Amino acid sequence: MNKEVSRKGAIALVVIFAVLIIDQAIKIYIKTHMYWRENVRVTDWFYIYFTENNGMAFGMEIFGKLFLTVFRIMAVALIGWYLFKIVKRGMKTGYIICVSLILTGALGNIIDSVFYGVLFSDSTNAQVATFLPEGGGYSTWFYGKVVDMFYFPIIETNWPSWVPFVGGEHFIFFSPIFNFADASISCGMIALLLFYSKYLNGTYHRQT
């Protein structure tokens, strides 16, 4: 049993470190090689579009910046504690991977919020950011902006003129711009709902 727990713990750590390294490598490259709002067309429905936001996943900006950063840190602490508990209980490997993805996605965006304001100069339409600039970063600790870059305008068209209220207006299906950490959170949560809802319910009823 101890070997099984160790194996599942090792898998969780591999997922955490792999996702975190990929997420930060992409963000640092984009931040130091692209202008703010610069975009690169990959296909008609996929762009690398560099932007930054002060809010939560997929560019949503609600509440104050410091509140969001502290909230993320608290959420990661709780998820980390929960991950530790489910690894010790020997729960299914796939379930552990899903929770690890959610944890690492949240942690990836925390790194941006806590450190990027100090580590990088500001990104503008005319200036590419530099790492550890001589004059200091663009902000202070806990006030960094989250780097986003993936944009999938899968369908881009205009509403038919006969559609009430929005007829003739421009329409983009799936307009949020997001990063690898956001995708990690989403994949983890979707997989939990699709594959482990019955497992979760069964585990809960056995423990109550």
pLDDT at 1: 58
Q: Compute the radius of gyration of the chain from its Cα atoms.
A: 20
pLDDT at 59: 47
Catalytic residue status for 44: no
With H, G, I as helix, E, B as strand and everything else as coil, classify residue 80.
helix
pLDDT at 201: 66
pLDDT digits 0-9 by tens, 142-161: 999 999 999 999 887 788 88
* Residue 122 contacts residue 35 (beta carbons within 8 Å): no
pLDDT at 64: 65
**Side-chain half-sphere CA neighbours of 30 within 13 A:** 27
Report d(CA 119, CA 193) in Å as an integer: 37
pLDDT at 208: 47
Please list the ranges in the chain whose pLDDT falls under 70: 1, 55-64, 199-208
Parse the chain into domains and list their residue ranges.
Answer: 2-207
Catalytic residue status for 122: no
pLDDT digits 0-9 by tens, 183-200: 999 999 999 999 988 766
Q: Does the global pTM surpass 0.75?
A: yes
Q: Which of 23, 112, 122, 148 is catalytic?
A: 148
pLDDT at 158: 84
Q: Which of 23, 112, 122, 182 is catalytic?
A: 182
Report d(CA 22, CA 184) in Å as an integer: 11
* Residue 142 contacts residue 109 (beta carbons within 8 Å): no
